[in-house]
Amino acid sequence: MDGALVKEIGTKALLVGVGSLLLFWTFNAIKLVISARGINPLIKQFFNQIAAGRIDGAYRLTTKGYRQHVNRQDFIKFLGGLQLNRYRNLKSGRPRIEDKQIMLRLNLKSEDKKQEMPLDFTFTKVEDNWRIERINKASN
């Protein structure tokens, strides 16, 4: 009788643990989706500005802190060094939240899908809008 009771309690504890883990994961997934709302349009706008030759428009999508550390000329050099015209496709990685910032790796892929360039973006909310806080060329 004691063995059956231990088995039943163990099964219930396991189900409670799995349920708690599932609830925790669901809560965090919903929080991430709600928090990241607006980032995809920002990314699209950023790359559309660059593709249209409106570098100043893309530069204005960054935060004031970014613009204090990276002047316009350095921004243009950075973009020129990336050779973005070689890439046509964009694949987004899984976002991470840290200290009210969202980090996201974007993989730019060439049209023939033979070349790939990862870029790490950090986004910060300024008032009600997301802005780019940091852009780094990432190593594979």
pLDDT given at position 78: 94
CA distance 42 to 27: 25
pTM over 0.85: no
| CA distances for 53 relative to 82, 90, 107, 108, 136, angstroms | 15, 19, 21, 18, 21
Residues 23-54: pLDDT tens digits? Answer: 877 776 666 556 667 788 999 999 999 999 99
pLDDT in tens, 57-106: 999 999 999 999 999 999 999 999 988 888 888 888 888 888 889 999 99
CA 60/CA 62 separation, integer angstroms: 5
Instruction: Give the chain's mean pLDDT.
Output: 85
| Confidence at residue 74, expressed as pLDDT on a 0 to 100 scale | 95
Cβ pair 123, 101 in contact under 8 A: yes
Give the CA distances from residue 103 to residues 1, 8, 58, 125, in Å, rounded to whole numbers and listed in that order: 54, 44, 18, 12
